[in-house]
Structure 1
């Protein structure tokens, strides 16, 4: 009776072992991860396979320019390394086998092996690009200037230049730069932070002898306006720019004065230094 029970027990164990072997979930898919897509000669190419299954073994093959150059027979390692000594396009293929003999295969991405990785030379900034960065740094960081509109004007009396920026606080981008004439030593242009207040087509001097086009007021009797015309506004009598010789206003070319007149709204900030 005891012997019969032992036989039944052995039979049940054998059936369980057989059924678990036969019905183990088969391997379904695999993926290879490539460490780099470009590598230097003399280094190791590194690959790793990932798959689900029971008691998996891996057969690796490496190919150079689509030709198999080495095969490693089945082993338990899901990682593979290969030293490369010459240039070319390399990739690996792997066959993965589970304990029931099911096999899946997959290939890695290609790796370009070169003697020297080409590095793009750093772009050399032009003088204009350096100037623009410096101007934007001044209004955005050095002075942290703000405006009630999407434009900002900076008048640099030392350089006789007007810079117009567009954007918003801390993100101003240079839009235009204009050569100007500012106030002479005896009647200097007012310095500080102001706002555009009003505009008119003409500015007429106190004496009535000269006129200027497109006046835009930013403080008191200080204006942006064009170069000077005669009393009838027909003939240019003073076209000098890039100097300090006005009574305090900022003179511009007719074209630039008109641009400010047409495009710079009231309440736009004006910084003069």
Structure 2
């Protein structure tokens, strides 16, 4: 009989983190769920007293992350799968964002994942096994107006994730950057910090709002089976787009970038480097 694996999931109380926590428990594995507010997990913890532990954790606090990861390791005597899922949205134009908003955004969306990765790696490296899933975005390959800081944070996380994959693989630890599509996770509601709008951008803001539309996307529960399957692969990819529609969009964005690259090939080749 295969022993249950132990997952450490940040941002576990809502959205994708909550959906994945429920799916992992249903699959017979165990979860240490971390979030700033773990009260939404109380009912789930009561239903799974032997398989779910919760930790109140602000991942932007590096010292708290180090302590929290030690508690997570002790909860079930080890970790097998780590999911850096916690994050938020900073919505607004680049010029509008304050220094405080920008730093707070990156503290969670980028540095928080860095602190968790640094904290779990010695444990996984010693065990010579483990998985780390870095939850990025299908849009992390390029910037889009009004969500530039979100894309920038996810792009940084994706780039670092690929580097981490190269560094960790010799120790038996596999890292995958998960490029999530648009799911109904409350990212644009509860998880959003908005800038103070400048009237100079009113027209562009209206066009972007029309482009985003009112479609909230599929429920995050629909993404959980793909993540579970990813966690079981003996040779997982370093990057994975999650979502059928998202796959098509990423493929089209890559075609556009390639066409633009070739359009300016002569100018590029003017320099010898």
Select the structure that is richer in strand. 1
**Length-normalised TM-score, structure 1:** 0.19
Structure number with higher relative contact order (C-alpha < 8 Å, ≥ 6 residues apart): 2
**Length-normalised TM-score, structure 2:** 0.19
Bigger-Rg structure (1/2): 1
